[in-house]
Structure 1
Amino acid sequence: MKRLLQIEFIKLWNNRASRVLTIAYFILLTFIALFATIKFDIGDVHFQLADQGIFNFPYIWHFNTYIAAFFKLFLAIVIVSMMSNEYSNKTIKQNLIDGLSKKEFILSKFLTVVVFSIISTIFIFVVSLILGMIYSDYTELSIIFSDLEYFLAFFVKLLGFFSFCLFLGIFVKRSAFALGFLILWQVFEGIFYGLAHWQLDSNIANGISRFLPLEAMSNLIKEPFSRLGAVQSVASQVGESITKDYSVHWYEILIVLVWTFIFIYLSFALLKKRDL
């Protein structure tokens, strides 16, 4: 496996676009710290986002993993380009001629996806830990190390999304078309979700929709903003109460893992069937 990873990372590092996008992705992840410096001046009201508790433990684990997930498109471009370059540069055929089996080829790509997901998870954990130690009002160990399941959800979310992108890169062969297909699939899920809610009971529609791949990935980490004390306070003042389940559920993780397996299996089946 080490040899397969070495081959992939040599290819990625020698590709300038992939190198720039990867570095930009990790730089952008550190920009989450900029939320601490954002200040709002509305008339006589002055407040800083960091003072609203967004960096309090354990809320920071939820908030940062949710925000960081938006930047995954940068690595998605890298992964899709990684496959399109194999076809355009004929390196996939050369690798197979040099003795790499199709199974090993797919494994090398999947291992790259796993490594990207692991490094991203560790990176956002370290950034969040530093921000929390600086700004959090709660620094007891029992509080700091609670709700860490959001990092498992973040890892699985990236793993599933990048595996989908890998499959699209093999299926479409061209990075621009693969990314276009990704956007088209997002639109399809949105239309399906809307039609399901129109024709069916909302509970049944939600139950069906959660099995769609992108929706399943989205459900792993729910929006964290309504958990903020300020939002809860405003809601109570207008006579509303926000009751929402923000937990990470095992069945939601399982759904995404099943999709991950399907994407990798389909990638291998397609490559095995295709005449290179």
Structure 2
Amino acid sequence: MLRLLNIEIHKLKYNRASKILIVIYFALLTSIALIAAIKFDIGPVKFHLAEQGIFNFPYIWHFNTFMASIFKFFLLLVIVSMMANEYSNKTLKQNLIDGLSKKEFILSKFYTVILLATISTIFVFITSLVLGFAYSDFTEFSIITSDLEYLVAFFVKLVAFFSFGLFLGILVKRSAFAVGAMLVWAMAEGFLKGMAYWKMEEHVDMLMRFLPLEAMSNLIKEPFTRLSAVKTVAKQVGEDLSKDFTVQPLDVLIVLVWTFIFIYFSYALLKKRDL
């Protein structure tokens, strides 16, 4: 495992575009902390976003993992460009000539996916801890350690999303086309969801739950309607925003199955292809 990871890390180290994208990604993750600085003081109206409870434990685990997952697209570009470079620079063929099996090649990419997801999760964990201790009204150990399943969901979501990108990178061989294919798939799921609401509204959630991007999205639901201030406003206008925000084991299982499918077919495609 370490040998295969070292090969990929060496490739990333000498890929300027990948290094820039990784730096941008972690800079954007750090920028979540800037939300705390948002203030509006207009006459008698004083609004400080950090005081609305978004950095309270345990809510911060939900909020930060949701916000951080928005930036995953930058690491997707790293993954697909990594595969595109293997074809354009002919390093894939050279690796196989040098004795690396196709299975080991796919594993090296998958280990890189896991490494990037792990570093991202640890980074979000540390950032959330710092912000939580700085702004949270609740710092008891039992409260801090509540809702940590959102970090697990975040990790699983990144691994699945990057595995999807890896599969598309192998399938189309070009990073721009791979990203385009991801966007087309996302639009196709959106179209299918719209058609399902039109034809069979009562079954749409169960149907969409099993599609890859929707399943990844379901892992960490939007956190904003969970805020007490938002609920209070909703009640005043007669809206009921109550729903289950917890990470569902079935959603985790569905995403893990899709991850296996992406990696398996990446290997099957590479194995079948004449390089």
The TM-score range, normalised by the shorter chain, is: over 0.9
The residue that corresponds to 2:189 in the other structure is 189
Pairwise CA distance, 1:97 = 0.1
Pairwise CA distance, 1:13 = 1.1
Pairwise CA distance, 1:220 = 0.2
Distance in 1, matches of 2:105 and 2:196, equals: 39
What is the aligned-residue identity percentage? 68
Which structure 2 segments of 5+ residues have no match? none
Pairwise CA distance, 1:240 = 2.6
Q: Secondary structure at the match of 1:46?
A: strand
Please report the RMSD computed on the Cα atoms of aligned residues, expressed in angstroms. Answer: 0.8
* Equivalent residue runs for 1:77-156 within 5 Å: 77-156=77-156
The residue that corresponds to 1:219 in the other structure is 218
Distance in 2, matches of 1:91 and 1:124, equals: 33
Look up the equivalent residue of 1:194 and give its one-letter code.
Answer: G
Which structure 1 segments of 5+ residues have no match? none
* Equivalent residue runs for 1:125-274 within 5 Å: 125-200=125-200, 202-274=201-273
Distance in 2, matches of 1:177 and 1:42, equals: 47
Distance in 1, matches of 2:46 and 2:157, equals: 36
The residue that corresponds to 2:51 in the other structure is 51
Distance in 1, matches of 2:45 and 2:213, equals: 39
Runs of 4+ displaced beyond 4 Å: none
Q: Secondary structure at the match of 1:243?
A: coil
Could you report, residue by residue, the CA deviation over 1:219-266 in whole angstroms, capped at 9, with x for unpaired residues? 000000001111011112223332111010100000000000000000
TM-score, structure 2 normalization: 0.99
Distance in 1, matches of 2:10 and 2:148, equals: 33
Distance in 1, matches of 2:32 and 2:219, equals: 20
Q: Secondary structure at the match of 2:71?
A: helix
User: What is the aligned residue count?
Assistant: 275
Pairwise CA distance, 1:43 = 4.9
Q: Secondary structure at the match of 1:123?
A: helix
Could you report, residue by residue, the CA deviation over 1:139-190 in whole angstroms, capped at 9, with x for unpaired residues? 1111000000000100000010000000000001000000000000000000
Distance in 2, matches of 1:128 and 1:147, equals: 12
Distance in 2, matches of 1:101 and 1:245, equals: 45
